[in-house]
Amino acid sequence: MISEIENRIHEGMPGYIEALKQLVRIPSISFDNFDQKFVLDSAEAVKKMFSEAGYTNIQFLLPPSGRPSVYAESLTRPENPTILLYAHHDVQPPMREQLWKSAPFEPETRGDRLYGRGTADDKAGIITHIAACSQVRKALGDKGPNLKFIIEGEEESGSAGFAEILEKNKELLKCDAVIIADLGNFAKGVPSITTTLRGMSAVNVTLRSTKAPLHSGSWSGPIPDPAQALCRMITELTREDGSIAIPHFEDGLIPPTTEELESYRSLDYSEETFRNEGGVLDRVQLNVPGDKILETLWRRPSIVVTAMEAGSRTNAGNVLQDSAYARIGIRLAPGMDAGACTQMLVEFLQQHVPNGLECTITTEDGANPFTTDIAHPFFKKMSDAMTKAYGTETRFIGCGASIPGAELFRNTLGGIPVLMTGLEDPECAAHGENESLYLPDFERGIVAEALFFEGISQ
């Protein structure tokens, strides 16, 4: 039987989709080389949405970067449970705009998906929270939970100031549980709660051989090519099967339990599905067999070169470049420490610089891996709510991505349960071109969160 809340959410979906479109139109890219005015515009738009929905104590919580997180609340009674709701309003750059089928910041509905940067990651999470909470407030009044919101403004650029925000405002943010709406479902229509995250870090490496670029005919041969030297350094990082060759890098790794491995197998995820979802070319051989894909994604570390530069592709000439650059990212599995692993990466690279080239390495802020214990009754309540909303059994899954706030919430707010949900799916292309949101799951996600609030209020 469809509840009154479900009916009202269904009737309100056109308005929720329009509200999401308003946010998507703001190019709130939180990287320094983009105009940060739009991050402020996005924060102001979120603040306005909270105000129009009748929330109180709406304010900006500012990190050192000045990219605002937005706080709001709706409090009922002190004895009721208090839930803190997290999402983020900043987004990734659009990448190669020529590959988008519609403008990245002009949302467009095609079929059952809404396209645009930030539709799935993570502006849909903001609207999910506002919509679900508003319906629960109408239905339950002061019998419903106390609701607090924090919508971050620099998650995509590493959450560098988020720890400071949480520490400064931990009394304001005090709660019984956090819901992070920044992940996704295992597949379209398959409700999922994420229980493990990989950590992340990155280094920027520059090799230099000469004071300026030189004529390749007149100078190449005796002088080492920094691009080739950098490639040799990078190839030393991993073995042929993709495993990491840095000594002691995996010493702290916590392997998955038998129960977790059985859960992964129960998802019946095939190599063919993985290849289709990732667009893997037919002749490319994977580093691992098909039955190890999920374990590798969720419980193993990886190293990937996210950018390389030596000269200019559009202005290439017969030049021996003076320098070469690479950004090298690492993903860390549960049990590994971001700081220690980053330092091991730096030292390994320094030890493998060929021919005495000048090597400069800078590090970026990292995030540790995260695991959660699903024994808390809130996980059962959320699982039941999602099962009812989606009409199929909820799955507990891992995720190969990172959310720095997950560990920060637990460390700062006292070991509370952190429930990680979201609306991404394997087709959404988060961080890539043509990002999109599957609209049927958008509605189901709002319903699920509202039913969870009902469940914990009884």
Residues forming beta bridges with residue 193, ordered by sequence position: 396
The pTM of the whole model exceeds 0.95: no
CA distances to 132, 175, 297, 377 from 129, in Å:
5, 16, 28, 21
Beta strand 69-74 pairing with 370-371: unpaired
The residue count for the chain: 458
Tally Cβ neighbours within 10 Å of residue 284.
8
Structure tokens at 121: 């990651």
Q: How far apart are CA 120 and CA 182, in angstroms?
A: 8
Measured in degrees and rounded to the nearest 5, phi and psi for residue 317 equal: -145, -170
DSSP state for residue 238 in the 8-state scheme: B
Taking a C-beta distance cutoff of 8 angstroms, is the pair 176, 380 a contact? no
| 199-253+300-363 placed in CATH 3.50.50.60 | no
- Output the six-digit token pair for 84: 């803190």
- The Cα 411–Cα 381 span in angstroms is 23
What 3-state DSSP class applies to 251?
A: coil
> If you write DSSP's letter for every residue of 85-115 in order, what string do you get?
EEEE--B-----GGG-SS-TTS-EEETTEEE
Identity of residue 338: A
- At 52 the three-state DSSP class reads helix
Residue type, 294: L
Q: What is the pLDDT along the chain (458 residues), one digit of tens a residue?
A: 568 889 999 999 999 999 999 999 999 999 999 999 999 999 999 999 999 999 999 999 999 999 999 999 999 999 999 999 999 999 999 999 999 999 999 999 999 999 999 999 999 999 999 999 999 999 999 999 999 999 999 999 989 899 999 999 999 999 999 999 999 999 999 999 999 999 999 999 999 999 999 999 999 999 999 999 999 999 999 999 999 999 999 999 999 989 889 889 999 999 999 999 999 999 999 999 999 999 999 999 999 999 999 999 888 899 999 999 999 999 999 999 999 999 999 999 999 999 999 999 999 988 899 999 899 999 999 999 999 999 999 999 999 988 888 999 999 999 899 999 999 999 999 999 999 999 999 999 999 999 999 999 98
CA 407 to CA 413: how far, in whole Å?
A: 10
What's 298-318 look like in SS3? HHCCEEEEEEEECCCCCCCCC
Quote the CA–CA distance of 91 and 70 in Å, as a whole number. Answer: 15
Q: Where are the domains of the chain?
A: 4-197+369-457, 199-253+300-363
Listed residue (104, 180, 91, 131) closest to 418, CA to CA: 180
Is residue 122 reached through a cis peptide bond, with omega within 30 degrees of 0 on the bond before it? yes
Please report the pLDDT score of residue 315 as a whole number: 87
8 A C-beta contact, residue 381 and residue 454: no
- Asked if 394 contacts 192 with a C-beta cutoff of 8 angstroms, the reply is yes
pLDDT at 63: 95
Cα gap 105→88, rounded to integer Å: 17
Selection from 311, 345, 93, 301 nearest residue 204 by Cα: 345
Residue 90, phi then psi, degrees to nearest 5: -85, 160
User: Which residues have C-beta within 8 Å of that of residue 53, sequence separation ≥ 6?
Assistant: 130, 134
> Hey, what amino acid is at 374?
I
* φ and ψ of 351, to 5 deg: -70, -15
Q: Do 188 and 174 contact (CB within 8 A), yes or no?
A: no
pLDDT on residue 415: 87
441/424 Cα distance (integer angstroms):
9
Q: At what angle do helices 4-24 and 37-52 cross, to 10 degrees?
A: 150
Task: Check residue 2 and give its pLDDT.
Answer: 64
User: Distance between alpha carbon 358 and the CA centroid of its chain, in Å?
Assistant: 34
Handedness of CA 273, 277, 278, 281 (dihedral sign): positive
- What does CATH list as the number for 4-197+369-457? 3.40.630.10
